[in-house]
Amino acid sequence: MKKVLIPTKLDSLATKILADHGGYEVVQEPKTPILDLAKAHPDAHALIVRSEKVTAEVIDALPQLKAVVRAGAGFDNIDGKYARSRGIDVMNTPGANSNAVAEEVVALILADLRHVVRADETTRRGEWEKAKLMGRELTGKTVGIVGLGHIGRLVAKRISGFECRVLGYDPLVPPEKAKEFGIEPADVETIFRESDFITLHIPQNAETKGFVGKRLLALMKNDATLVNCARAGIVDEDAIREARGLKAIRFLNDVYPKDAEGPKSVADIADLMMPHLGASTVEANRNAAVRAAEELVDLDEKGVSPFVVNRDMPAGLDASYCDLAFMIARVARAILGPEKPLSRIEVSCYGKLEPYAKWLSLSLLNGIWDDINRSSDFKTVIADLEGRGVAFKVREADATKKYENSMTVDLAAGAAQVSVRGTVGEGVKMIARIDEFNHLYWTPTRNAVFFEYDDRPGVIGAIGDALHKADINIEDMRNPHNPATGHSMAMLSTNKPVAPELVASIAKTIKSFKSSALAF
């Protein structure tokens, strides 16, 4: 059993997902300090945290630790570099909290514009400050968004209902992409000069520390508002203090250097303050819990995750191709027969994937063997294969075949062989060919079953009838034929696993000479 420590108040769905999956023992103790919990469970395989500090000391207390998952977007509370030096993957869950933070930004702006907090306090005291609490409207104003990730784009979407002019800056987002989200691309200076409201959605790092300082604040319009629901360090507090002495700018804040009780250094300059409530919604907590658990399972089973933030992904490689490599290998292994000892593996990577063949091979091999060491480099894995008596080869791609951005995997177990090719189209991972059956473009789901047989009428009906009797629904199907050989293949995605006994029974009924079930 792999032990997972959760030293935080995370939705119980994370524990349920891991428990239901099997193979995980979860220890969730939100009231126990993380270092104490680590020392009490030195055999932990993974940590799932929120704002808890995962320091080198915590990592050293967990000699078997393989992964740290931050149930949220920011991960500066985790010493990612030290974790990498120990072969530990750090992941986050981008997007899980995005809507909650985006809605908080709108809530802060509206609350400030209409004096909601003061109006409530004074009215409860029996006062009637209607004349003093004249507000302003958001409709028709200019909103500037610095950082167009998940949260920034959602802010633009939520703000759109107020018919605002929305400016946006993000060096990683092409201008044409920003326009698709209803955002007018602009440089930072233009945003600070022309916006009535500026909201920050960038990470805190060496480059962004003190990002909003004297220079940018000097550009802000009188009565403009700055909103920070990102990270405390990206704003120079002293610069805001000085700027507010020169003009009537407003500052709405939800982030601090430390999430804890006690006086806050921005209390004298913040017009509205919240105790880091951006991600504190029932929905966001649930989303982050689900994502954290699923990402951990995915990392353990596939070896590569697009959400690992401290492992270098080669520039130019789309992470979905790592999942594709895993999927192709898992399909090939199932068709060849999982019980057969492999003797040879050959891989071809075409198009833009060719330079990344060795990197992709790590995911591919993990699709064949769950116990491949995912933290190893390519040379270590190849040495492992030699110890298993398996020959491994990355073939030189034949460009004349014009298999753009696709992968082919050939497996052999003695005389038995199988060849599978796959690709990614419109973001969808698909199997393009299995042996002699080409142009399949089939997307496997969690469960699938294969049968190869001599082509004749009535076979698909017999398969469907058997699955129906077992209360198994067919979600997708391919039934390619090869006139040259007279063979057909039935490839069916199902809503639940097909038991080996049922596969064998169906194979006998339809006289299939090659059959297998597959679960991802």
Q: Are 137 and 109 in contact, with CB atoms under 8 Å apart? A: no
Judge whether residue 63 has pLDDT over 60. yes
- Which of residues 423 and 377 earns the better pLDDT score? 423
Whether the Cβ atoms of residue 192 and residue 216 lie closer than 8 Å to each other: yes
**Amino acid 81: pLDDT:** 86
Q: Walk across the sheet containing 225-228 and list its strands.
A: 184-185, 165-169, 142-146, 197-200, 225-228, 250-253, 272-273
Q: Reduce the DSSP state of residue 113 to 3 states and report it.
A: helix
**What proportion of the chain, given as a percentage, has pLDDT over 70?**
96
**Average pLDDT, stretch 509-516?**
91
Q: How far apart are CA 88 and CA 111, in angstroms?
A: 43
Q: Residues 261-279: what's their mean pLDDT?
A: 94
Is pLDDT of 371 > 70?
Answer: no
Assign a CATH topology to domain 98-273: Rossmann fold (3.40.50)
Q: Judge whether residue 373 has pLDDT over 60.
A: no
Which tops the pLDDT comparison, 366 or 142?
142
Cβ–Cβ under 8 Å, residues 26 and 6: yes
Start-to-end Cα distance in the chain: 19
Best CATH choice for the domain 2-94+283-302 from the list 3.40.50.2000, 3.40.50.10260, 3.40.50.720, 3.90.1150.10? 3.40.50.720
For the chain, give every residue range classified as CATH 3.30.70.260: 320-519
Which of 65-79, 142-156, 166-180, 304-318 is the least confident region? 304-318
Please, where in the chain does CATH 3.40.50.720 lie?
A: 2-94+283-302, 98-273
Q: Is pLDDT larger for residue 338 or for residue 460?
A: 460
Write the DSSP string, 270-319: -SEE-SS-TT-SHHHHHHHHHHHHHHHHHHHHHS--TTBSSSPPPTT--T
Encode pLDDT of 380-390 as tens digits.
Answer: 677 777 777 88
Mean pLDDT of 167-190: 89
Residue 106 DSSP one-character state: H
Contact between 259 and 276 (Cβ < 8 Å): yes
Pairing of strands 416-425, 428-434: antiparallel
Query: Which of left, alpha, beta for 426 (phi over 0: left; psi -120 to 50: alpha)?
Result: left
* Token pair for 97: 């909290």
- CB within 8 A of 143, min separation 6: which ones? 155, 156, 159, 164, 165, 166, 167, 195, 196, 197, 198, 199
- The span from the CA of 253 to the CA of 200, in Å, is 10
For residues 355-367, average pLDDT: 83
Task: Phi first, then psi: give them for residue 426, nearest 5 degrees.
Answer: 55, 40
- Token pair listed for 183: 């955002």
pTM summary value: 0.60
Residue pair 103/79 in contact (Cβ under 8 Å)? The answer is no
Architecture of domain 320-519: 2-Layer Sandwich (3.30)
| DSSP secondary structure string for all residues of 212-233 | B-HHHHHHSPTT-EEEE-S-GG
Spatial neighbors of 1 by CB under 8 A, at least 6 apart, are: 23, 24, 25
Q: Which pair of tokens denotes residue 402? A: 């014009």
Mean pLDDT of 356-372: 79
Task: Please give the angle made by the CA atoms of 437, 442 and 447, to the nearest 5 degrees.
Answer: 110
* Long-range contacts from 203-210, C-beta under 8 angstroms, 24+ separation: 203/74, 203/76, 203/230, 203/231, 204/74, 204/76, 204/230, 204/231, 204/232, 204/233, 204/234, 205/76, 208/233, 208/234, 209/233, 209/234, 210/234, 210/235, 210/236, 210/239
Residue with the two structure tokens 């909601």: 116
Which H or E run includes 252?
strand 250-253
Residue 12 has pLDDT above 70, yes or no: yes
pLDDT, position 380: 63
Res 51 pLDDT > 90: no
Lowest mean per-residue pLDDT among 341-350, 359-368, 374-383:
374-383
Q: What is the pLDDT of residues 455-508, one digit of tens each?
A: 999 999 999 999 999 999 998 888 999 988 999 999 999 999 999 999 999 999
Which tokens is 9 given?
Answer: 């108040």
Q: Where do we find the tokens 């819990």?
A: 289
Can you tell me the distance from the alpha carbon of 24 to that of 15, in angstroms, rounded to the nearest whole number? 9
316, 352 Cβ separation under 8 angstroms: yes
Mean pLDDT over each residue of the chain, to the nearest integer: 90
What are 430-440's pLDDT values in tens digits?
999 999 898 88
- Long-range contacts (CB closer than 8 Å, 24 or more residues apart) made by 427-434: 427/320, 429/320, 429/323, 429/324, 429/327, 431/327, 431/328, 431/331, 432/406, 433/408, 434/331, 434/335, 434/489, 434/491
Length of the chain: 520
